[in-house]
Amino acid sequence: MKAIYLFVLLFLPFLISCSTYEQLSIDVLMPAKYTFQPEIKSIVLVDNARAYREKNTHKIAVPSGAYSIDTIWKDDFPDIFLYGLKYELDQRNFFDSVYVHEISLRRSGLSDTTFLTWSMVNELCKKYDAQAVVSIDDYIYQTNIKVEDLYDGNMYGYLDASSSVLYRGYNNLNKSLIFSKVSSDTISWSVYGNGLSYVAQNLPNLRQGLADLANYMGDKAVNDIAPFWETEKRILYSSGNFYFMQAAEHVRNDNWGEAIKLWKYVFDNSKKLIKSRAAYNLALASEVEGDYKSASYWIKEGLDIVSELSSGHAKAEKKRLILYSLYMNQRLEVVEELKIQVGGGE
């Protein structure tokens, strides 16, 4: 029994390496949730919300009792949200310029409604030479702190900070509302330690917790406005013959052009099963290069080949190609949406 176990240990790396494929991560461009037409080169971010004031905003529960605090406010919550959004938009380089209007419209008396009029939108766009405005028109927030005694004599405490933000996008070129959305989120912190004072000192104070929440929500809002990259997993046939192994090494070195030459040679000079794998890899290479027409062509070539093989002989290959074909059909629809947003090819 020991000899068999030793044999398995010795040959396990070899057995694992005999897999014909490996997983590959690729970055795929995804459209923003809402479409800002390509003619919109610059946008203005503005706070149009009233200062939040509600009872029982901050709730605290400790072993000695429960309390609420209504004297701590975070009036710059919208500003932090907008600057978080601006930072992420600047990183994307989707717009030529992103401006933050420094004055709160409602708190300064320049607006008395929970939406912007087109004259307000036009005035902001004229001031900044922009074509669209994103405004925070309302928001609420709440915090909840709870501290509990534990069996070991220590204490466990947590802080939850929650908010809902109403924000809208206005297209000043055609005077249309791009979107109106309520975004809700919660972030939490927890502390374990000896005594109430330790827990209190190591949880964020309420204003800092709300600031972190506002910045986090602003960061997340960027995907509503600008396209983004998403990492996805793909299968790459990387062994089975010398050409696949050599091509896989080219891929690891980000030299897809050389890999494509080898896969095309395999496709032209191999039996059907290997040929179908080469077609799959060529489809993957086309996707990586953004050539979805060629990707669809190679997927069809692969499916035509495996359809001529017995179901048992090429079951895995056929399944992968079918799934890839379904994905590619969906991806082509997404690409059309991206073309509308970026004004051309992906």
Question: Average pLDDT in the 116-145 region?
Answer: 97
Band (pLDDT 50/70/90 cuts) for residue 313 is confident
Percent above pLDDT 90 for the chain: 84
Q: Is residue 13 pLDDT above 70, yes or no?
A: no
Question: Average pLDDT in the 264-286 region?
Answer: 96
- 342 and 38 in contact (C-beta within 8 Å)? yes
pTM confidence score = 0.85
| CATH 3.30.160 correct for 42-226 | yes
Strands 42-47 and 132-149: parallel
State whether residue 293 is helix, strand or coil: helix
Question: Average pLDDT in the 230-236 region?
Answer: 95
Task: Calculate the CA 218 to chain-centre distance.
Answer: 13
What is the residue extent of each domain of the chain? Answer: 17-32+229-342, 42-226
Q: What is the DSSP string of 288-326?
A: HTT-HHHHHHHHHHHHHHHTTS-TTTSHHHHHHHHHHHH
pLDDT tens digit sequence for 72-106: 999 999 999 999 999 999 999 999 999 999 999 98
The DSSP code for 73 is -
Give the largest CA-CA distance in the chain: 85
What are the phi and psi torsion angles at 7 (to 5°)? -60, -45
Band (pLDDT 50/70/90 cuts) for residue 142 is very high
For the domain bounded by 17-32+229-342, which CATH number is listed?
1.25.40.10
Beta-sheet strands, E only, within the chain = 21-30, 42-47, 58-62, 65-69, 97-100, 132-149, 155-171, 176-193, 228-237
Q: Which two tokens stand for residue 83?
A: 């600057």
The DSSP code for 269 is S
Question: Average pLDDT in the 260-285 region?
Answer: 96
What is the C-alpha to C-alpha distance for residues 188 and 250, in angstroms, rounded to an integer? Answer: 45
Spell 223-248 as b/e; 16+ CB within 10 A means b: bbbbbbeeeeebbbbbebbebbeebb
Residue in 182, 88, 174, 175 with CA at minimum distance from that of residue 137: 182
What is the C-alpha to C-alpha distance for residues 159 and 204, in angstroms, rounded to an integer? Answer: 8
Question: Average pLDDT in the 54-60 region?
Answer: 94
What separation in angstroms does the CA of 29 have from each of 91, 110, 231, 287, 344?
Answer: 15, 39, 9, 11, 14
- More reliable by pLDDT, 8 or 242: 242
pLDDT of residue 251: 96
pLDDT tens digit sequence for 20-35: 889 999 999 999 999 9
- More reliable by pLDDT, 213 or 115: 213
- 168 and 181 in contact (C-beta within 8 Å)? yes
Strands 228-237 and 21-30: antiparallel
CA trace torsion 64, 68, 71, 72 (10° rounding) = 90
What is the C-alpha to C-alpha distance for residues 59 and 66, in angstroms, rounded to an integer? Answer: 7
pLDDT of residue 344: 66
pLDDT of residue 70: 86
